[in-house]
Amino acid sequence: MSTGTGLLTPEDLDFLRRPLYGFLTVAAGPVPPQPRPVWFEGTVQLFTGPETVKVRRLRRDPRASLLVASPVGERERWVSVAGRTTLEQSGAHELAARLAARYWDLDDPGRAEDLAGMLAVEQVRLVIHPEKVSRFTN
């Protein structure tokens, strides 16, 4: 295992560009922490509703972490990014559309309808600014 000081390596970014689930944990949450699976984009941004529990917690304490692991059947690998977050009012719908295309087959009418539902409601973009990066590659 190695620990970075806020920098993602090119190998980390290649790994984070894959359609993998990340597990988000926010600081002001319950003890023990309760990570939630999320879609994300490699520079460590995701979207969510502006009134979600995670957003309310991040407004009180902006620290969060995202852990991404390789799927079963691949050699073990993970990257963890921790840092302060910002809540951005712009770009959330565009991010949602990019991520839906990455994670879903949008030719499926049901998935296209799911995306339309996401785009019909207000979203914010949550950006984690890496302060600590840990990784493991086997």
Instruction: Extract the tokens encoding 38.
Output: 């999320």
What are the E-state strand segments in the chain? 2-4, 22-26, 36-38, 45-48, 63-69, 77-88, 124-137
Instruction: Look up the pTM and report it.
Output: 0.88
Which residues in 6-26 are b (16+ Cβ under 10 Å) and which e? eebeeebeebbeeebebbbbb
Percent of all residues in the chain with a pLDDT value above 70, rounded to a whole number: 95
Sketch out the chain's domains with CATH numbers. Answer: 10-90+123-133 (2.30.110.10)
User: How does pLDDT run across 38-64, given as a tens digit for each residue?
Assistant: 999 987 999 999 999 999 999 999 999
User: How does pLDDT run across 90-114, given as a tens digit for each residue?
Assistant: 999 999 999 999 999 999 999 999 9
In sign, the C-alpha dihedral spanning 92, 100, 121, 63 is negative
Q: Using 50, 70 and 90 to split pLDDT, how confident is the model at 135?
A: very high
